[in-house]
Amino acid sequence: MAAPFDLNNDGVVVIIGSGAGGGTLGNELAQKGVDVVILEAGARHEYDDFVNDEWDSFTQLAWKDKRTTSGDWRVAKDFPNLPAWIVKSVGGSTTHWAGASLRFQEHEFKALSTYGKVEGASLIDWPITLAEMEPYYAKAEAKMGVTGTNDWPRLPGNNNFKVLKAGADKLGYKECHTGNMAINSVDRDDRMSCQQTGFCFQGCKWGAKWSTLYTEIPKGEATGRLEVRPNAMAVKINHDASGKVTGVVYADKGGKLQEQKARIVAVAGNSIESPRLLLNSESAKFPNGLANSSGQVGKNYMRHTTGSVYAIFDKPVHMYRGTTMAGVIRDEARHDPSRGFVGGYEMETLALGLPFMAAFLNPGGWGRSFTTALDHYDHMAGLWIVGEDMPRAENRITLHADEKDEHGMPIAEVHFDDHANDTAMRDHAYKQGQALYAAVGATRTFPTPPYPSTHNLGTNRMSEKAEDGVVNKHGQAHNIKNLFVSDGSQFTTGGAENPTLTIVSLAIRQADYIANQMSEKSI
């Protein structure tokens, strides 16, 4: 059973966040006999509490705390206080994610070496390689039940996928399939297989899609060594005179501040909250915030180069039926600068329900140009573009100068400007997506702007040299031995692939490292 740990127990590893990084790290450590407390800002909703309704689910799961935005990205205009569409609930954004689980490509770990210096970008290479990551990718795929690996069949294609596949064939794309999805295609791990319900973004009510909520977390709790404390919003990490972290101050459900002592702290609150917490943990010893002697905390915010293409046909599609992300085209994910940009992008099917289609197809749009698109909602197909965006020091998370949340913590300000490479890639992808659907007979296509970010990356990046980033190749802070970063904020660059599989793989790898260091008494 779940072990409640005393606030003064300074032998525990405290993890902030229970999503892909935090939830996985917590279970992995608990399985190795390490005592763990996970502080989760959100409430605990089990999977039968999820709702098949876009706005109701958003209300239930989304991180809605106010943030501010600036920069030339359209999100700053259309959704000025909602830069990211992520989750505040036990399980974090693994409740909401679509399940796409693609490995990074070899060259994506070596962005600077492969792409060369790109003006206006702060590219560096990862301090790890694909070869080093492969065993951990394999463990993550086995843990998550990724289709197309370990003899698990791929999911059957839904209507939206069939349209995508027909277009891919017409354009001559070679690598198009129903993806590598962390969604059970057969009953396994005491969870059932996908029932093609749709609403993957609203939490899978069958538990067929992997989420830490009903896999890692209960498995960790069953060891007696993991406690997940919901409604616990971390506001500050404390340290001692030597600079070692000693505990985490959090606001409990009633808003009362508590401190959980810790032997080790791992930050996994996603790429906006993690740097916010480190920056807010400033002290006389660390006046610029924790782990920030390089000044890199919060910088190099990446969100993937995204966008969608929707298309209307003269016959019905019903794209919303079945898996939300039901297939992928990988041909454009290669690095091929002859296209006018470095890096590559994936094309993945995506469907929104009518309420979210109205909100996101063309935010702010109105009149017949807009409404005649929705009139043919059931004749629509759609795909999402996800590509590598360029890290830029100016794209960053900072603490708001004046505005504070209810716990007195400055809210996060998110600044983002597209790099010219991002724009060139997005334009290329729009063109390909529109050509793809036109080839199947689309009568009208829509190059739809990026949604609030779901892939938030890079704000505490991993680097070989301490001056280039925040953490080393194990996600360990360059200047504080017992402080770790365990989420997508440690990504050095974004790659073209959906990040969750890499976050989970890094967490498994980090757990090995932490357990070793603990048994060697070096931390």
* Gap between the Cα atoms of 67 and 78, Å rounded: 13
From the list 2, 238, 370, 400, which residue makes contact with another protein (rule: CB under 8 A)?
370
Alpha carbon separation from 388 to 149, 332, 515 (Å, rounded): 24, 11, 33
Please tell me what DSSP assigns to residue 213.
Answer: G
Q: Which stretch binds another protein (CB under 8 A): 100-108, 237-245, 361-369, 400-408?
A: 361-369
If you compute the radius of gyration of the chain from its CA atoms, what whole number of angstroms results?
22
- Work out how close the CB of 53 gets to another protein at its nearest, in angstroms, rounded to a whole number: 6
From the list 31, 112, 138, 206, which residue makes contact with another protein (rule: CB under 8 A)?
206
Is the CB of 200 or the CB of 457 nearer to another protein?
Answer: 200
Using rule CB under 8 A, residue 189 touches another protein: no
From the list 377, 384, 437, 451, which residue makes contact with another protein (rule: CB under 8 A)?
377
- Work out how close the CB of 177 gets to another protein at its nearest, in angstroms, rounded to a whole number: 15
Sign of CA dihedral 484, 488, 493, 497: positive
Task: Enter the tokens of residue 193.
Answer: 């297989």
From the list 189, 282, 378, 405, which residue makes contact with another protein (rule: CB under 8 A)?
378
Specify whether the CB–CB gap between 195 and 3 falls below 8 A. Answer: no
With CB under 8 A, what is the number of residues at the site for another protein? Answer: 45
Q: Which stretch binds another protein (CB under 8 A): 31-39, 301-309, 318-326, 403-411?
A: 318-326
From the list 333, 440, 485, 523, which residue makes contact with another protein (rule: CB under 8 A)?
440
From the list 7, 52, 106, 340, which residue makes contact with another protein (rule: CB under 8 A)?
52
Q: Which stretch binds another protein (CB under 8 A): 32-40, 193-201, 220-228, 341-349?
A: 193-201
Using rule CB under 8 A, residue 317 touches another protein: yes
Residue closest to 363 by CA, chosen among 444, 303, 449: 449
SS3 45: coil
- Work out how close the CB of 160 gets to another protein at its nearest, in angstroms, rounded to a whole number: 9
Using rule CB under 8 A, residue 59 touches another protein: no
- Work out how close the CB of 182 gets to another protein at its nearest, in angstroms, rounded to a whole number: 18
- Work out how close the CB of 359 gets to another protein at its nearest, in angstroms, rounded to a whole number: 6
H/E/C letters for each residue in 230-283? Answer: CCCEEEEEEECCCCCEEEEEEECCCCCEEEEECCEEEECCHHHHHHHHHHHCCC
Using rule CB under 8 A, residue 359 touches another protein: yes
- Work out how close the CB of 313 gets to another protein at its nearest, in angstroms, rounded to a whole number: 8
Q: Which residue has the tokens 């009510």?
A: 205
Is the CB of 437 or the CB of 484 nearer to another protein?
Answer: 437
* Gap between the Cα atoms of 469 and 507, Å rounded: 19
From the list 224, 354, 408, 423, which residue makes contact with another protein (rule: CB under 8 A)?
354
SS3 302: strand
Residue 254 exposed, middle or buried by CB count within 10 Å (0-12, 13-18, 19+) = exposed
What are the contacts of 113-116 at 24+ separation with CB within 8 A?
Answer: 114/335, 114/342, 115/335, 115/337, 115/342, 115/343, 116/342
Using rule CB under 8 A, residue 196 touches another protein: yes
Residue closest to 115 by CA, chosen among 397, 419, 418: 419
Is the CB of 111 or the CB of 309 nearer to another protein?
Answer: 309
Using rule CB under 8 A, residue 126 touches another protein: no
Is the CB of 47 or the CB of 491 nearer to another protein?
Answer: 47
From the list 17, 91, 269, 322, which residue makes contact with another protein (rule: CB under 8 A)?
322
* Gap between the Cα atoms of 203 and 184, Å rounded: 14
Would strands 13-16 and 264-267 be described as parallel, antiparallel, or unpaired? parallel
Q: Which stretch binds another protein (CB under 8 A): 15-23, 25-33, 115-123, 352-360?
A: 352-360
Residue ranges that bind another protein, judged by CB under 8 A: 52-55, 156-159, 162-163, 166, 194-199, 205-206, 313, 315-318, 320-322, 353-355, 357-359, 364, 366-368, 370-371, 374-375, 377-379, 440
